[in-house]
Amino acid sequence: MQIAITGASGLIGTALAPALRAAGHTVRPVVRRPSADPGAILWDPTAGTIDAGGLEGVDAVVHLAGAGIGDKRWSAARKREILESRTRGTDLIARTLAGLATPPAVFVSGSAVGYYGSPGDEVVTEVSPPGDDFVAEVVQAWEAAAQPAVDADIRTVFLRTAPVLARHGGILPRIALPFRLFVGGRLGSGRQWMSWVTLDDAVGVIGFVLDHENVSGPVNVASPEPVTNAELARAIGATLHRPSAIPVPALAPRLVLGREMADSLIFISQRVRPAVLLDAGFTFAHTDISAALEATLGSRR
């Protein structure tokens, strides 16, 4: 297949592109600046422009672009950037695909488990209702922006991805740093649930949904075994051979990040079940947090 990818230089994209090539596919990165890659497709989501001709004839589009939600402290301007970097780009891609003479068979669009807000101890699946915080509102608008592709009868998949565990990049290096410095421990009460997925499984899911025509709509990209923050802390400590007994009071992250950002990203409680993937027969490589951390951070890596 010819597969176009936005966000090909991001955490998931940099792992996805070589995996797809290794599987025999042709990868065509969608880029903002001219590239040495002869298959690259130019776009400028801020200006609302894209090389539609470059997308003619591609078999699939994987859309992963968007400003990092936890990269900077939230201000009104940053929150607007987080929202618009997702909605503008998704709308541009979806409208363009809908207008092609030969549209792709499938549009795989980024999303996030932030859709569910903070449901506490409740197990949520793809049919659960959305939350009402800032992140949940962003994710709802993000998915809604893909409606032109849905209306054009392009099979559209929304990757509601949990925090991705990777050795370099994403949330894990930041979480692991205090443990490396011998000051790691649970955050706040430690009772909040965290859904997670390894980078290998996130890439594997994308390959799976590309190949399985019966999968469409929202798909939870999360291990079927979420953990509490306290369990995560103990597992990181054991993997790095560091203590994990120093709790971090909730006040500290709230002072550093601001209460809204800290509560939305650190103290949120999400117990997500990947029902669609499990029902479709996807097999996760990593379901146990200790084994996942060992594969990602441990000495065998």
Say how many CA atoms lie within 13 Å of 263 toward its Cβ.
11
Q: Kindly tell me if the per-residue pLDDT of 53 is higher than 50.
A: yes
Give the other-Cβ count within 10 Å of 217's Cβ.
13
What global pTM score does this model have?
0.94
Give the other-Cβ count within 10 Å of 252's Cβ.
12
251: pLDDT confidence band, cut at 50, 70 and 90?
A: confident
Tell me the pLDDT of the chain averaged across its residues.
94
Using CB atoms within 10 A of its CB, is residue 238 exposed (0-12), middle (13-18) or buried (19+)?
A: middle
Q: What pLDDT digit, counting tens, does each position of 167-209 carry?
A: 998 899 989 999 999 999 999 999 999 999 999 999 999 999 9
Q: Quick one: fold of 2-297?
A: Rossmann fold (3.40.50)
Domain ranges of the chain: 2-297
Question: 142 or 255, which is more confident?
Answer: 142
For residues 274-290, give the mean pLDDT.
97
Residue with tokens 């990049």: 169
- The beta strands (E) that lie in 113-171 are given as 123-124, 155-161, 164-165
For residue 40, give the 3-state DSSP assignment: coil
For residue 58, which phi and psi values (nearest 5 degrees)?
-70, 150
